Amino acid sequence: MRMMHNYFRIGGCFKRLINDLFEAAIGMRMMHNYFHIGGVAADLPYGWIDIYVQLQIDAFIAQDFTTQAALYTHHQYIAGFIMTGAFTHGAIFFIRDYNPEQNEDNVLARMLDHKEAIISHLSWASLFLGFHTLGLYVDNDVMLAFGTPEKQILIEPIFAQWIQSAHGKTTYGFDILLSSTNGPAFNAGRSLWLPRWLNAVNENSNSLFLTIGHGDFLVHHAIALGLHTTTLIFSKWRFRCTRFQINAR
């Protein structure tokens, strides 16, 4: 009976602990749910990319770029709406339900303590991406409008190209790992492992490892600009800041 009594006692304490945790986090439940749903929705487009290439749900979807773009945009819009709800409920929690005494020295308190640094970093990242990305777009458009396309500022995504080259893409001229014809990895890849991988990567008849250039560089930085600016706006109201100053405590 003593063992059973101990089990019931431990179970009762554990139940009270769970109830206390739920009561403390009642204002965060909705935000938690929104973040989970939004995270899944945000991951869906990248899952679609795998489906386009490897497990096609349609025989021609890997070559139908309009359908790919539509599916990607559709799921990104859904994720954006849901994540907006997540940040909104987080702001409601911090303004209405947050108790400094109950959250002393935990992750929520540390976020509020470091909100100046968080928002400052997001600010300079957004400004950097905005001025450089949009500035490049404006410059290149003006050069094309004036009939001098050779004066465009075209920046190659050398880091992404290096990663593709390391996996066997020989288009970019990087002599490294699987793209190095004299390296042991290249020789082993032709006979011992990943048969026909190098041929598949370097052929233009499939959508594996599409050749990337300056257009991809600009597009990815434009996407990063949108993500950082959105996060900055959401974080300012979530951290209880005024419009121009980070002074609300």
- Per-residue model confidence (pLDDT) at position 244: 46
Backbone angles phi, psi at 168, to 5 degrees: 115, 0
- Domain membership of residue 95 (yes or no) is yes
- Per-residue model confidence (pLDDT) at position 4: 43
- Domain membership of residue 76 (yes or no) is yes
The number of distinct structural domains making up the chain is: 1
- Domain membership of residue 157 (yes or no) is no
Contact 243, 201 (CB under 8 A): no
d(CA 207, CA 199): 13
d(CA 224, CA 130): 9
- Domain membership of residue 137 (yes or no) is no
Contact 187, 177 (CB under 8 A): no
- Per-residue model confidence (pLDDT) at position 82: 83
Output the CA–CA distances (angstroms, integers) from residue 227 to 46, 115, 145, 147, 241, in the order listed: 16, 18, 30, 33, 20
- Domain membership of residue 58 (yes or no) is yes
- Per-residue model confidence (pLDDT) at position 37: 53
166-216 pLDDT, tens digit each: 887 878 878 778 777 777 766 776 666 666 777 777 777 666 777 888 888
Residue with tokens 């290439």: 53
- Per-residue model confidence (pLDDT) at position 240: 61
Q: What is the DSSP string of 37-93?
A: HHHHHHHHHHHHHHHHHTS-SSTTTTT-HHHHHHHHHHHHHHHHHHHHHHHHHHHHI
- Per-residue model confidence (pLDDT) at position 22: 47
Output the CA–CA distances (angstroms, integers) from residue 238 to 33, 85, 170, in the order listed: 17, 12, 47
- Domain membership of residue 239 (yes or no) is no
- Per-residue model confidence (pLDDT) at position 236: 76
d(CA 208, CA 158): 18
Q: Low-confidence residues of the chain, pLDDT below 50? A: 1-12, 14-28, 34, 53-54, 242-244, 248-249
- Domain membership of residue 9 (yes or no) is yes
d(CA 71, CA 214): 24
pTM over the 0.75 mark? no
Domain that holds residue 91: 1-109
- Per-residue model confidence (pLDDT) at position 180: 74
Please choose, from the candidates 123, 73, 74, 129, the residue with its C-alpha nearest in 3D space to the C-alpha of residue 236. 123
- Domain membership of residue 68 (yes or no) is yes
